[in-house]
Structure 1
Amino acid sequence: MWLPSALLLLCVPGSWSLSGPSEVAGPVGGSLSVQCRYSKEYEAFVKYWCRQPCLPIFSEVVKTSASRGEVRSGRVSIADQPGSLTFTVTLRNLTASDAGKYRCGISTLLLDDGISGFLPEPFVQVQVLVTPASSSESSARTPGPPGRDPGSLLSSVHFLLLIFLKVPLLLGMLSAVLWVNRPQRAHL
């Protein structure tokens, strides 16, 4: 009966194998760093940072490489420190448009040496807040038009996947396990 509980943990972002902050903040023009800690079994896997929902169409993914050095992409860098089982993402020269939901994660599709992995893909959702650089600068800016937060729109994709794909899949697998393990009646 432990199988359904274990399957449920696969659907929970960051379940025990990866941890990080849920919220970070930095000033406009400044920088911020996010440190994510992972468990030993994920040491050889590629680590990544992307804006939610982390689809190639919507966001650029910055990921570590086999060299284990710092990898830069524009204003974002990521560095894996396997000795301390952490990786650090740094965003530089922040703009107001950088605010939103991001994912600090581990790709289990490929190990650093190019071999496929078979572990669940853990990630932590991180809310990035960008604060005004100074009070004089914030009073000089005019507010933009009201609208939807793009981060909330993109994160709704994950919610829809959860409701229409992950939950039915989990229930289907649970039903199959219960069906296979049902008591058999003897026919006399």
Structure 2
Amino acid sequence: MTPRDGRPWLPVALLLLQVPGCWCLSGPTSVTGTVGGSLSVQCQYEEKFREMVKYWCKSPCVWSTVKTKEADLEESNGRVSIRDHPANLTFTVTMENLTEGDAGTYWCGIVTSWLPGYFLDPTFLVVVSVTPVPSSVRPTRTPGLHRILPAPTWSTMTPKESPNPSQYPGPSPESHPVEDQASKREERSLLGSVHFLLLIFLKVPLFLIMLSAVLWVNRPQ
């Protein structure tokens, strides 16, 4: 074989066709998001691709994950959406509610042929990384414990002051039923003492005088 027949260059040409990626399409080489969060990728294309369909797929790109249908109209497929912006020659891909399984290699692509996948389409490779949520952000909960009581302080451990009776209005001591009964018992006890004294110093002498008078009158003649 000689270089003039062009055959030695055929494998090289086929290899270039199979290598994905195109200078006519650009974007970020890698993006990072967190689990439960979202991320966006913006791909830039040339003027000649303004009216063509754009897509986003995960390697090996057997079929597109999501693709555009009309300009400035968002199309979504589950948690992934895409929107073409012909005014500035870009299209944006958004991934929401990220999981660790979303990490991998993706492609921004433009449909230019009837062949499946990205065999002849202009594509650009983007590596997506998904990191777990930092442990300091995650809420800590103890199973079976709904509320954590605060640690006791000196103010909570000191005995409570007894309430001042003057601060709480209530019935006066004279109107208290128990005190009324006690005063009545004292009055009865005092009356009993007076009656006993009268019996000793007044009634008993009078009785003795009357008894002596009766005996004096009825004495034998």
- Structure 2 length as normaliser, TM-score? 0.51
Q: Which of the pair has more CA radius of gyration?
A: 2
Superposition deviation, residue 134 in structure 1: 1.8
Unaligned runs of 5+ in 2: 1-5, 115-119, 141-221
Determine the structure 2 residue equivalent to 1:93.
97
Determine the structure 1 residue equivalent to 2:175.
none
State whether residues 46 and 107 of structure 1, in contact with CA within 8 Å, keep that contact through their aligned partners in structure 2.
yes
More strand by share: 1
Superposition deviation, residue 11 in structure 1: 4.4
| Counterpart mapping for 1:43-82 below 5 A | 43-56=50-63, 61-66=65-70, 68-82=72-86
SS at match of 1:135: coil
State whether residues 71 and 86 of structure 2, in contact with CA within 8 Å, keep that contact through their aligned partners in structure 1.
no
Q: 1:39-63 CA deviation, whole Å, 9 max, x = no partner? A: 011111100001101114xxx5200
Distance 1:6 1:42, change over 3 A: farther
Stretch moving more, 65-74 or 36-45: 65-74
Determine the structure 1 residue equivalent to 2:133.
133
More helix by share: 2
Q: Matched residues in 1 for 2:89 and 2:16: separation?
A: 21
SS at match of 2:112: strand
RMSD across aligned positions (CA): 2.5
SS at match of 1:87: strand
Q: Matched residues in 1 for 2:54 and 2:104: separation?
A: 20
Q: Which amino acid aligns with 1:48?
A: Y
Distance 1:134 1:73, change over 3 A: same
- Structure 1 length as normaliser, TM-score? 0.59
Identity over aligned residues, as a percent?
54
Q: Matched residues in 1 for 2:42 and 2:69: separation?
A: 17
Q: Which amino acid aligns with 2:122?
A: P
Say how many residue pairs are matched.
126
Superposition deviation, residue 122 in structure 1: 0.6
Q: Matched residues in 2 for 1:53 and 1:106: separation?
A: 16
**Does residue 83 of the first structure (1) align with residue 87 of the second (2)?**
yes
